[in-house]
Amino acid sequence: MTRGRPPQRSQRGRRPGPKVARDVERDFRSTKGRDDLGGDQVEGRRAVLELLRAGRRRARSVMVSADATDDVVLAEIAELAGSALRIVPSERVVATARTDTHQGVVARAEPLTPVDLDALLDQDNAFIVALDGVTDPRNLGAVLRVAETAGVTGVILPRHRSARITPTVAKAAAGAIEYLPMALVSGIPAALSSASRAGVWSVGLDERGDQSVFSLSVADQPIVVVFGAEGQGLARLTRDRCEVVAHIPMHGMLASLNVSTAAAIACHEIARGRAR
């Protein structure tokens, strides 16, 4: 069984290790030309378990390596998979997997279905995350996991300049893709204009923002929180469409955070403010 590695630290100018590079390349090949969310292959024990627990889309097959080490998660996967369970040689799992962190479990499922943007904006007290050009699949997966745990009610992804829900994303999201409604849009700036018309505040995260995320004046309102691309931040037009631009106070020598870390701080702080 292949054990999962600890997450890679994001460092500017540093190339990803060979396994990370292979995962990203496989992801690119598997989603090139697609105009949907993806998500039809799910790898890793936690991600597959949540696919089966949620039951929102059919699992066509659940392959488990014959030499996988038993644990309570694997036992529940086997129980929930039912007739879709396939115990196969480890070589077949390796050949099917698109990541090196599959943990001996690979599921094939119906692809995720995007929701309409208006459906996200029309929710009572919407709490939405929009991602402006996040192309790294591990970062996207980590942000989705953070968003789900913070109680986010939906996610907006652009059709271009964004990773799709690949096996690497699904693994990093640890099951969050099964519970988060996601909308695909032609562009984030246009989506923010729609949000404004729907009475939903747009808040961009930027290190030059004039409000602290810890004292955000609209935290308890219907809100879209916008995170920018790795290393580049918010695009100019996206920033211009944000009604509020907020920052995370920094107390050390470094001036920026990885997008998934920034999302963890901002989303959970906003959730705390909404709970009050």
CATH number of the domain that residue 94 is part of: 3.30.1330.30
Same domain, 270 and 222: yes
Same domain, 197 and 251: yes
Same domain, 141 and 87: no
**pTM, 2 dp:** 0.86
Virtual torsion, Cα 119, 121, 127, 130, nearest 10 deg:
90
- Is the per-residue pLDDT at 224 higher than 70? yes
Residue 186: predicted pLDDT: 94
Residue 19: predicted pLDDT: 52
Task: Give the number of other Cβ atoms within 10 Å of residue 257's Cβ.
Answer: 17
Q: Are 130 and 263 in contact (CB under 8 A)?
A: no
**Structure tokens belonging to residue 104:** 């001996």
- Is the per-residue pLDDT at 242 higher than 60? yes
Select from 109, 138, 153 the last residue of a domain: 109
**Structure tokens belonging to residue 96:** 């099917």
Structural domain span for residue 226: 117-275
**Structure tokens belonging to residue 102:** 């599959």
Residue 276: predicted pLDDT: 77
Query: What are residue 267's phi and psi, to 5 degrees?
Result: -65, -40
Same domain, 103 and 157: no
- Could you give the number of structural domains in the chain? 2
Same domain, 52 and 183: no
**50 in a domain, yes or no?**
yes
Same domain, 128 and 256: yes
Pairing of strands 154-158, 201-205: unpaired
- Is the per-residue pLDDT at 190 higher than 90? yes
- Angle, helix 137-149 to helix 18-31, in steps of 10 degrees: 80
Q: 43-52, 83-92, 106-115, 254-263: lowest mean pLDDT where?
A: 254-263
Q: Tell me the per-residue pLDDT of 4-31, one tens digit each, with 9 for 90 and over.
A: 333 333 333 334 455 544 554 455 444 4
The residues, ordered by sequence, that sit 6+ positions from 76 with a Cβ below 8 Å of its Cβ are: 49, 52
Per-residue pLDDT averaged across 21-48, rounded? 71
User: How far out from the chain centre does Cα 116 lie?
Assistant: 18
Same domain, 126 and 77: no
CATH code, domain with 197: 3.40.1280.10
Same domain, 133 and 78: no
Same domain, 147 and 266: yes
The residues, ordered by sequence, that sit 6+ positions from 21 with a Cβ below 8 Å of its Cβ are: 15
Residue found by looking up tokens 């050009």 in the block: 133
Same domain, 207 and 104: no
Same domain, 150 and 245: yes
Select from 52, 77, 109 the last residue of a domain: 109
**15 in a domain, yes or no?**
no
Q: 14-28, 52-66, 176-190: lowest mean pLDDT where?
A: 14-28
- Rounded distance, CA 251 to CA 8, Å? 23
**3-state SS, residue 76:** helix
Query: What are residue 53's phi and psi, to 5 degrees?
Result: -65, -45
**127 in a domain, yes or no?**
yes
Same domain, 221 and 271: yes
- Is the per-residue pLDDT at 2 higher than 90? no
Q: How is residue 160 annotated by DSSP?
A: S
Select from 92, 109, 126 the last residue of a domain: 109
**262 in a domain, yes or no?**
yes
